[in-house]
A and B are shown apart, each in its own frame.
Chain A
């Protein structure tokens, strides 16, 4: 088990209450660099609270949260932003600058980076989300779906070691969801850890490796996302429903139970063609 020095994020028996309502109870887990984790659970299970704690917007009532080797109690939210890039659910409300590139540049500038470095990060973030053509547009001239991508670009431009995203695909059509998926996979391959609240398990299956499930503030499941998605009874007990690819793999009893569309298509072709299954 990695210690607080190497994990991108570590929760150690973290509890949090809103007045008398306990939102999180003794939650412990770790995220390694490059790991993608889906934070799941019913509406009101404590997911948004957990994210607020990671970003330093709220402090744990008990327990400790480590972002790398920082105890979040010892740093301010703007310091946390050096390591954690976050996008909230209503992300189009995060934009404020006159042009998209200015908006995306705000974070890196606030980190005190040199202008050339800021420009490089902005360009990379916009390119990752294929927003380059909109760099000079006013953010509020963009449709809400693209504003959502713009907010994500702002988080990517921080080039953080941990990306915390709340429903990054809500309101996006499939083409835009695929753009977000590609950008996140690229960052994960570069070593960024991903902590993603999502009810879009189709997207989750394509991008993320592991599932953390919250139920009434408790962490009730910490395991491989693919395994969870192909075990329907356990999913249903958690109030979840398998996404289409996992449902298809299970229904057709495809070997290895792939949960990603490309893997399922390859396996379908292989089995249908009578070729040996690896």
Chain B
């Protein structure tokens, strides 16, 4: 079931002529993880703002084409913005209250709020932080808190912009495992990330954005394609393999490299 559909979307920020997104079409189905990859400035963040109904509604600008998200059955889309401190409510004195801010604004009954907050807190492994003042957290701690606050609203479409930017590799791995788990429960996930090495284990498909347009879309093994290697958008393993002048197709993960190496 398609949760999100962009149909020939072109978007311009206020007072700009050049489109930030141009003629972009994509779909994300329930249970699917789609990764947006591209260089800085390619339009991934803008695409998430459009998909999350923040652009043009909040940031202004002009949209052509259609963004279809069916919220009729009470379905929600949740967006995790880059730089988590920009997403704090500013109205909570504790992490628990911060995570509760979203569900409280949805007008859920109190016991339901408690249930969802406790569940989200447990899923992010931030039980030890619930009594802390959100403004005193480290970047990595805050990133988990923001994700918990979004999950507590139980979105059916989750939009993530660089969700691991503040996390260490172990924290990032845990977050990616959570993304997979959410997808397996039926959440549709669209994630912009520069953590390309994680994608083979996380994403079902990728959409390569280049200067606001979809350059390529397909399976994650595209990360070993000549085009993505040339654009410096491959996995590390693929780029090392090519730099060593070993034959294509290049492996994208360490596990694939081991198989290839042992089968020499």
Contacts and interface: CB of A to CB of B under 8 A. Distances in A.
Interface residues of B, number: 42
B134 to A, nearest CB: 14
B83 A90 contact: yes
A173 interface: yes
Given A143-B40, A172-B194, A244-B236, A265 B168 contact: no
Nearest to B82: A171
Contacts of B258: 251-252
A43 B139 contact: yes
Contacts of A44: 138, 140-141
A253 to B, nearest CB: 9
Contact of B140 (A43, A174, A265): A43
B15 to A, nearest CB: 12
A102 B141 CA distance: 35
A185 B38 CA distance: 26
A132 interface: no
Secondary structure at chain A's binding surface: helix, strand, loop or mixed? helix
Contacts, number: 113
Interface in B161-207: 162, 165-173, 194, 196-197
Contacts of B131: none
B17 to A, nearest CB: 15
Interface stretch (A61-69, A110-118, A266-274): A266-274
B39 A261 contact: no
Interface string A66-100: 00000000000000000000000110000000000
A88 to B, nearest CB: 11
A5 interface: no
B236 A261 contact: yes
Given A172-B40, A174-B232, A268 B194 contact: no
Interface in B235-264: 235-237, 239-241, 243-246, 254-255, 257-258, 261, 264
23 contacts: A42-B170, A44-B141, A90-B83, A144-B83, A145-B41, A167-B166, A170-B166, A173-B38, A173-B40, A174-B232, A175-B39, A176-B40, A199-B169, A199-B171, A241-B170, A243-B169, A244-B235, A248-B237, A252-B258, A252-B261, A265-B240, A269-B245, A272-B264
What 5 A-B pairs are tightest by C-beta distance, nearest first?
A43-B140, A265-B243, A199-B168, A244-B236, A268-B244
